[in-house]
Amino acid sequence: MSTLSTRALGIRYPAQSHWALDGVTLDVAPGAVTWLTGALGSGTSTLLLAMAGLAPRLTGGERRGEVLLDGRDVATLARSRTASRISDRLPPCS
């Protein structure tokens, strides 16, 4: 189990003047179930991409702040390592 944290995280996409995320600080404890909700365009998908180490690596743009997996910056980790340690598990809807 891994600890996932963001510190003053900001993401700006290419050719955008505004930050899709700005100043996000969050801690997700090992084994925690975390529910992330927001209106369309509020940055929820961007936050998940950043926490998985995919934004801005695959999306382009700029990142400021930190995303840490067990104290290591996800931008420095292999994608396969990050993916194996972070997952979303949704219970079936009834």
Q: What is the pLDDT of residues 32-75, one digit of tens each?
A: 888 899 999 999 999 999 998 889 999 999 999 999 998 999 88
Region 22-40: mean pLDDT is 91
Q: Is 70 left (phi over 0), alpha (psi -120 to 50) or beta?
A: left
> Which two tokens mark 49?
């991409």
pLDDT of residue 12: 98
Please tell me which residue, 24 or 89, carries the higher pLDDT value.
24
Do residues 2 and 74 make contact, with C-beta atoms less than 8 angstroms apart? no
